[in-house]
Structure 1
């Protein structure tokens, strides 16, 4: 059975990072899972492209080992607050990450 991201994180959140960026914070449930999964290829730019239409060249990753946290940010395809915006603050975007398979 495949390990899912939601099984190795104690908290996952998403938010806007200004009008042009979206950020995900993945708080792993301990240093072991942070070390094992924070640099996992399944959490790379290709995932952000597949799930959110992000340009892989504009995906940024920021590991924060003392918090067992990985921050992943990508440039929005359109500025925040557009006419067809469905989640202006990006607070619900993390849901797509919960079932990402890691192993």
Structure 2
């Protein structure tokens, strides 16, 4: 049986600039059950995001919005937007590792 990912449980997973020095990702979960999984602090927490994106866990901010079934995550860009080493000026592809994160079996 294939593993379930956060992307499988979401209607949309996206990333975008939050200014020239930050990236924001959003998980729009299909329903309350999916939201409970994505919002579970033992599953998705600052350390997990830090490992996925190679950033300091202390710099990761996670916002859980149950009324919308949304989890929003922000972290500093590894390089400033538009700099010579910036490979994704709009931060539009940063969500992929998060969307591919495997959900633990229940």
Q: TM-score, normalised by structure 1?
A: 0.88
Number of aligned residue pairs: give it: 103
Aligned 8 A contact 1:42 1:101 in 2: no
Q: CA deviation at 1:31?
A: 1.1
Aligned 8 A contact 1:40 1:102 in 2: no
CA distance in 2, matches of 1:51, 1:30: 25
Aligned 8 A contact 1:25 1:72 in 2: yes
Show structure 2 runs of 5+ residues with no match.
none
Deviations 1:7-64 (A, max 9, x none): 1111100001001111000000101211233124342222322222211101001111
Q: TM-score, normalised by structure 2?
A: 0.86
Secondary structure of the 2:95 match is: helix
- The equivalent residue for 2:12 is 11
Root mean square deviation of aligned Cα: 1.5
Spell out the pairing of 1:11-50 with structure 2 (5 A cutoff): 11-50=12-51
Aligned 8 A contact 1:23 1:72 in 2: yes
Residue 14 to residue 88, structure 1, CA distance change in 2 (3 Å): same
Show structure 1 runs of 5+ residues with no match.
none
